[in-house]
Amino acid sequence: MTLIKSISGMRGTIGGKPGDNLTPLDAVELAAAFGQWLKKRGLAARIVIGRDGRISGPMISALVAQTLCGMGMEVIDQGLSTTPTVAMGVPHHRAGGGIVLTASHNPEQWNALKLLNEKGEFISAEDGRELLELLADRDFTFAHVHELGKILPDPKACDMHVQAILELEDVPVETLRKRKFKVLVDAVNSTGALYMPPLLEQLGCEVSLLNGEVNGRFAHNPEPLPEHLTHLAKAVKEQKADLGIAVDPDVDRLVLVCEDGSMFGEEYTLVAVADYILSRTPGPVVSNLSSSQALRDLAERYGQEYHASAVGEVHVVKKMKETGAVIGGEGNGGIIFPKLHYGRDAMVGIALFLAQLLRSGQTASALRAGYPHYDMIKDKIPLRADMDPDALLEQLAQRFSAPDASGKTQNQINTVDGLKIERGKSWVHLRKSNTEPILRLYAEAPTAEEARSLAREVADAVAAWK
């Protein structure tokens, strides 16, 4: 059983019994519930859909589109697309919402339906709960024969996205064209192969593709982590490229490889882009609680405010709107640039990163060396059957906020999303998983040993809990 129904949609492995995994029936029912939810809210009876390159994509897409037609909806079908392109397509077409068919960085046997509101942003927790009630009750009504919807292809979706980026005042198109960066793109056999090259070529780049056949048979684990990008790193060095670019299957995460084959660091994609934006536009910056301290350091260097949100794009976007942030995102390579749209977008991310690389006049490795150095650990702590994660985190918060022998408290405690313990320039963040009996642990410090020590201290406290 892999099917997970949440406030943001549904995901699971393809096949098996309905309700256990992601089957045609599950996809149809969620699409119907979403259509009904839009009707109840009085929104436009128009929905934008798009899919990544997964093997199951055509099947799920056809089921979703025809179900929405059965609800009386007009379906704008981008076909092979990206999450940010679908998101931008919703307001572009004045649609009531959108559905992205992608399991993001999960392996090829997975797929998912991710739901967008009329702004092209992920639906809120409150909206998600309302939709899940419709789904559970099967409370949807289909259209009569003369009120059936229709499917309209959107062959210019990529052009729309690329052109919007080129028109941004923060993207120095002509200067970039003169520089002629040489780049390699690992598209992991998904839609990055169709969407990244047109943008990069418009920016004057010499582009080479790795894993560019869009067949959904991912050449390596699709999560853009260093251990999965060794082939890209080797190719960048051998071909004397200026930069290696890796995206996940739905192109909302951007990870970079330096000209010497070293990793720029997924946590530092946002730092570099924020450096560029803050050099032009002062204002607050936002990342989630599990993202690197380096972004806060950068904001302080510019004399600007830094704000942290709960983990998850919807929470980052909410905090960005509350604070008027000029740039934000997540430390996994997710860039959110509000002048374009409120969503993670590797395409605008690479345009802004190249602008920063151009501005610096440095190689990618030299640019990276100029940012504060931190080491981060990402781990999981199994929970015993007798452990209540909420009670555990509450007790740990009390323990680590207690004063020491001198009466001073060396830790700052944040309980917005799980438990974050900050100790000077070091921190550890614990969050319970919604899908596994584990706690996710993130720890960061100026050195690897400090990060390991802090992680061990907290992990030992978890193990000793009674």
Q: Are 264 and 371 in contact (CB under 8 A)?
A: no
Measured CA to CA, the distance from residue 341 to residue 415 in angstroms comes to 29
Q: What's residue 465's pLDDT?
A: 84
Note if 360 is an active site residue: no
Mapping DSSP to helix (H, G, I), strand (E, B) and coil, where does residue 14 land? Answer: strand
Query: Which domains does the chain carry?
Result: 4-155 (3.40.120.10), 161-369 (3.40.120.10), 375-463 (3.30.310.50)
Q: What's residue 104's pLDDT?
A: 93
Q: What's residue 229's pLDDT?
A: 97
Render 147-183 in DSSP notation, one character per residue: G--EEEE-TTHHHHHHHHHHT-TTS-HHHHHHH--EE
Q: What's residue 6's pLDDT?
A: 87
Paired tokens of 1 = 């059983």
Q: Which of 104, 291, 309, 426 is catalytic?
A: 104
93: nearest Cα among 151, 48, 49, 123: 48
Q: In this structure, what are the phi and psi dihedrals at residue 116, rounded to the nearest 5 degrees?
A: -120, 145
Measured CA to CA, the distance from residue 256 to residue 465 in angstroms comes to 40
Q: What's residue 339's pLDDT?
A: 98
pTM over 0.75: yes
- Low-confidence spans in the chain with pLDDT less than 50: none
Q: What's residue 258's pLDDT?
A: 99
